[in-house]
Chains A and B, each alone.
Chain A
Amino acid sequence: MAVKKFVVGNFDDEAVLFPAVKKVRRAGYKIHDVFTPFPIHGLDKAMGLRDTSLHTAGFIYGISGTATAVGFITWALTVDWQINFGGKPFFSLPAWIPVTFELTVLFASVGMVLTFCYLCQLAPFVKKDHFNTRSTDDTFVMALECTDKTNEAEALGFLETVGAKEVKVEYRETEWWIGRYDKEKKLFHKEN
């Protein structure tokens, strides 16, 4: 558990947010994350995030699904329990393709969903801190991580110059935890 200090800018338009992200990065500030109500194409590039490896994981899951299906059916029908289906050979690959296909899809899809949840730290009962709950509705939130050397006043001013409607310094928990939101912190109070 690590509570860190952030300079937070709230934007109300993605057309403003986009150039703002670029300007903030060019000015040398480190963007912790940007929270948006909907996916914005190209924002990951603008933020300089690397490509996800989710598809590589998906490929590996798919291959293991294929291997599982072919391996298991081969073992079951040629070694363990040979059955004569209409005079076809025990090893009849065409008949196994549908099951192999299904298992490939199943492994790839379930594996990718679980990996995605892990990467995004999404799970039942897992709690995460929010910068601004309106980022699920109509506000675009950009959080800059503060270090010892950060001049907060300057950062706040800079965010305002690039178009943030509302800026503030906030302390937020960066990790996830299991349990309840701490009521004392009043994370969900309405912002005026």
Chain B
Amino acid sequence: MSIRENFVVPKRYNTVALALMAVGILAIIGLYVTSGSKADPHESARFWASLLQNSVFFLLVVNASMFFICATTLAWGGWQMAFRRVPEAISAVVPVIGVIAGAILLAIAFGDNHTIFHWTDSHHVAEDPILNHKKGFLNKGFFAGATVLTIVLWSFLGWKMRQLSRSLDAKPLATVAERKKYIWNNTVWAALFIVVFSLTVMSSIPWLWLMSIDAHWYSTMYSWYTFASTFVSGMALIALFVVFLKNNGYLEYTNNEHLHDIGKFMFAFSVFWTYLWFSQFMLIWYANIPEETIYFQPRAHGIYKGIFWLMFIINFIAPLLILMTRDAKRNYGTITFMAILIIFGHWLDFYQMVFPAVSPEKVPMILYDFGVALGFVGLIMFVTGRALSKAPLLAKNHPFVKESLIHHT
């Protein structure tokens, strides 16, 4: 087979993506009819909570791709060059889902329904000493500003990184000095992204977007834990696209060695996620202070028990045992299966972050949420496919390409 440098979106791929998006829209309509349109604020909150959970989860997952690129760039890593265009293309989804998620978040914060973010209700906050103390951080103005700024910065810096990468396709770097300058330039922009990323996903934004649903409760590990969750799902998503492209005869320079390393990321960050998840749990369990344990009461012991432990099995025990061996990480089937399982598991993780506070009496019918999730999956497929087809799949003029071609684990 000749070298297929450019990805041509297969018709069937787009059909599937559009069908999934249609399912998503149907699910949103169904959700709106069954709960969103109800006058009872608790009923309609369920609609918004589903949109919040899905949009934030998938936004953070696609953004993890750009984090992967920037982290490897800063580490002067070369091994990912063979498939680097894949995470680049995935990160092109950030502005799209960013607009959706931003709109949903602002709609929830500025809407009349205060069930999800009950700190938005000024009468309630005035009577509540805890929320009153948190007013400096948990207020609508700060929320809106931080949300918009975050999404704009992610989109802009991601776009800049993609531009830098694509600028090489037209003009090769002839001299060593030019290459050094390019690497330096790349490093500076990657460092900027990492700084923004660590000030947002890794430290503050999940507090605003997710933790403030349980506004009384707090955990300083929450953001870092959310980051671990989305980063491992992001690596799983990259693995899925790499396997998909390999199976369709693209990415011929990406081989088992690269897949092995992606598998290592999935394995290692599953364990890392468990470490954070457990650390957050154990400190609260040990201290046994009611204002803290209230978070785990509905999740680990209440009606969300099943989802809580299912998620633990999917996100920790399954990757630990299945991805441990070398052969498993080099097997397309195992990697595909585990990648789907991991994304699903962390989606469940986000589900149990959002819903116990919104719907404490009964576990909402989860099928609609699957539908909404499928809609986002379709959107990611569609936009990533478009982005993949726009540039050659191998950034062949990048100074580090050789390192990736001879990569060996």
Q: Which residues of A contact B282 (CB under 8 A)?
A: 94-95, 97-98
With A42-B408, A86-B288 already in contact, the answer to whether A94 and B324 are too (CB < 8 A) is no
Interface residues on B, range: 10 to 19
Q: Which residues of B contact A55 (CB under 8 A)?
A: 325-326
With A41-B408, A59-B324 already in contact, the answer to whether A94 and B285 are too (CB < 8 A) is yes
Q: Which residues of B contact A51 (CB under 8 A)?
A: 326
Q: How far is the CB of B256 from chain A (nearest CB, A)?
A: 12
Smallest CB-CB separation from B327: which chain A residue? Answer: A51
Q: How many A-B residue pairs have CB under 8 A?
A: 18
Chain B residues numbered 372-409 whose CB sits less than 8 Å from any CB in chain A:
408
Q: How far is the CB of B297 from chain A (nearest CB, A)?
A: 15
* Cβ of B32 under 8 Å from chain A: no
Q: Are B288 and A94 in contact (CB under 8 A)?
A: no
Q: Are A95 and B286 in contact (CB under 8 A)?
A: yes
Q: How far is the CB of A8 from chain B (nearest CB, A)?
A: 27
Chain A residues numbered 76-102 whose CB sits less than 8 Å from any CB in chain B:
86, 88, 94-95, 97-98
**Cα(A64)–Cα(B326), bound, Å:** 21
* Cβ of B281 under 8 Å from chain A: yes
Chain A residues numbered 37-69 whose CB sits less than 8 Å from any CB in chain B:
41-42, 51, 55, 59
Grouping DSSP codes into helix (H, G, I), strand (E, B) and loop, the A interface class, with mixed when no group exceeds half, is: helix
Interface residues on A, range: 10 to 19
* Cβ of B278 under 8 Å from chain A: yes
**Cα(A120)–Cα(B278), bound, Å:** 38
**Cα(A55)–Cα(B285), bound, Å:** 34
Q: Which residues of B contact A86 (CB under 8 A)?
A: 288
Q: Which residues of B contact A95 (CB under 8 A)?
A: 282, 286
Q: Are A94 and B281 in contact (CB under 8 A)?
A: yes
Q: How far is the CB of B366 from chain A (nearest CB, A)?
A: 27
Q: Which of A51, A94, A98 has the most CB of B within 10 A?
A: A94
Smallest CB-CB separation from A92: which chain B residue? Answer: B285
B338-382 Cβ-contact flags toward A at 8 Å (1 or 0): 000000000000000000000000000000000000000000000
Smallest CB-CB separation from B278: which chain A residue? Answer: A97
**Cα(A141)–Cα(B408), bound, Å:** 23
Q: Which residues of A contact B326 (CB under 8 A)?
A: 51, 55
Q: How far is the CB of B250 from chain A (nearest CB, A)?
A: 25
* Chain A residues in the interface with B (C-beta under 8 A): 41-42, 51, 55, 59, 86, 88, 94-95, 97-98
- A sample of 18 inter-chain contacts (CB < 8 A) reads A41-B408, A42-B408, A51-B326, A55-B325, A55-B326, A59-B324, A86-B288, A88-B288, A94-B278, A94-B281, A94-B282, A94-B285, A94-B286, A95-B282, A95-B286, A97-B278, A97-B282, A98-B282
